Amino acid sequence: MGCRLLLTSFTTWKPEQVTNSSDDILLALEQVGLPASIALLRQIPVDFEIAPQRAIAHFEALQPQGIICFGMAERRDRLDLERKATDDTMTLETSLDLEALKQDLPFTTISDDAGRFVCNGLYLAMLQFLEHRYPDRFALFVHVPILTLENRDAILHDVWAIINRLGLGTIPIAKSEMFRPFIPPAEL
């Protein structure tokens, strides 16, 4: 079986950041072990041109059914499923049913504001690319809060559930004992 789902994360963009929570999520998933049907593109540079170029190139090479791009949102406290991406000339929405995707996930909400930074730019580029080249495929952007000892397991649980609900493979719902102990970046 080939790649069915591509997951992406960003690297840090501020000198004081030790990690990016979007990449912390992918690292935790990688540590558990992912099925071969799920591919990771980790630590994309936070750059308006390079980020979409890399994600689109990997999508073209792997031909997955969909892509979930993860990005860090320092001021949010839940996972945010981004409904749309926008710029001055257009707004594009994901084809996914976000209400169904987030049902019964206590640490997940739906957002209509992907921001005006590289996260929104990457999402808009992916949605536009898929609309023109692969209209039967999907893209989703998920903003991840800063991970703490208090929220990490719940966030990871919701991420696993979202992946499972997309029907792209059977992945057990995460249990905290499946993951290595979480060490906050300040203690590294």
Residue 78, SS3? coil
Tell how far CA 96 is from the center of its chain.
Answer: 14
Predicted pLDDT at 18: 78
Q: Give me the mean pLDDT over the 147-176 stretch.
A: 76
CA–CA dist 66, 75 (Å, integer): 27
Q: Tell me: pLDDT of 32 over 80.
A: yes
Domain-wise residue ranges, the chain: 5-187
Q: Tell me: pLDDT of 182 over 60.
A: no
In terms of Cβ atoms closer than 10 Å to its own Cβ (0-12, 13-18, 19+), residue 51 is buried
5-187: CATH number: 3.40.630.20
Predicted pLDDT at 166: 86
Q: What proportion of the chain, given as a percentage, has pLDDT over 70?
A: 88
Q: Give me the mean pLDDT over the 48-57 stretch.
A: 97
Residue 163, SS3? helix
Predicted pLDDT at 14: 80
Query: Residue 57: phi, psi to the nearest 5?
Result: -60, -45
Q: Tell me: pLDDT of 157 over 80.
A: yes
Predicted pLDDT at 34: 86
**Residue-wise pLDDT tens digits, 99-127:** 999 999 999 999 999 988 999 999 999 99
Predicted pLDDT at 167: 66
Predicted pLDDT at 168: 55
